[in-house]
Amino acid sequence: DIQLTQSPSFLSAYVGDRVTITCRASQGIHSYLAWYQQRPGKAPKLLIFAVSTLQSGVPSRFSGSGSGTEFTLTISSLQPEDFATYYCQQFSIYPLTFGGGTKVEIK
Amino acid sequence: QVQLVQSGAEVKKPGASVTVSCKASGYTFTGHYVYWVRQAPGQGLEWMGWINANSGVTELAQKFQGRVTMTRDTSISTAYMELSGLTYDDTAVYYCARDRRDGDLDYWGQGTLVTVSS
């Protein structure tokens, strides 16, 4: 199975900060990587697919980049509503797997 | 608008089975796969499998083979996930989600909490 390792697992930042979350895959996954946001008690929400394509309706402060085995999600200017847990997901090879999550706290 | 509405919370005894339904609306049900993902309390997301809503073909994570059955009823745009042989470790929120294209999931149900308790 492909392991996805997210770092950090927890971060605390101020409103307006630039935040970067990393997702490392145990083997190459081409561009089959997505990012999700999950607010407490809610279902995950697709933010980015194919590494860097913003899902419709997602604010442009979110962006994704990377290739091969290392990928990043960046929030350019953190907003209070961004308090959530973020997951990466690979859909290159079965079984589909998710990263362990990064919980973002607003200072 | 696309919506996936799941059935309500369940409490089951160990060894029992549970079926969760997922009713789709706002899109052509047979045009997308339906995925199932679960999340144990305080834990991350775990992919269980998918069903091709058109053909009914399924793909299950190895961990769930033999215990999970995925079906669909195209006449009512509803997918079902049955999990048998429940153990305490199956206590989780179960989500259905629509496959956008290749395995990324663009719409999710609200989740169904399944609690296994004696």
Average pLDDT, integer, range A42-51: 98
CB–CB contact A46 B100 (8 Å)? yes
pLDDT > 70: percent of chain A: 100
Q: Identify the pLDDT of residue A95.
A: 94
8 Å CB contact between A23 and A6: yes
Q: Identify the pLDDT of residue B102.
A: 84
Q: Which residues are bridge partners to A5 per DSSP? A: A24
Those residues with Cβ within 8 angstroms of residue B47's Cβ, 6 or more apart along the chain or in another chain:
A95, A96, A97, A98, B35, B36, B37, B61
User: pLDDT tens track of chain B, all 118 residues?
Assistant: 999 999 999 999 999 999 999 999 999 999 999 999 999 999 999 999 999 999 999 999 999 999 999 999 999 999 999 999 999 999 999 999 999 988 999 999 999 999 999 9
Per-residue pLDDT tens for A65-90?
Answer: 999 999 999 999 999 999 999 999 99
Q: How far apart are the first and last CA of chain A?
A: 36
Q: Identify the pLDDT of residue A20.
A: 98
Q: Is the pLDDT of residue A106 over 90?
A: no
Q: Identify the pLDDT of residue B68.
A: 98
Please list every residue in chain A whose beta carbon sits closer than 8 Å to the beta carbon of residue B44. 87, 98-101
Shortest distance between the Cα of B75 and any Cα of chain A, in A, equals: 26
Please list every residue in chain B whose beta carbon sits closer than 8 Å to the beta carbon of residue A87. 44-45
Average pLDDT, integer, range A34-41: 97
Please list every residue in chain A whose beta carbon sits closer than 8 Å to the beta carbon of residue B106. 46, 49, 55
Helix, coil or strand: residue B29: helix
Shortest distance between the Cα of B42 and any Cα of chain A, in A, equals: 10
Average pLDDT, integer, range A83-104: 96
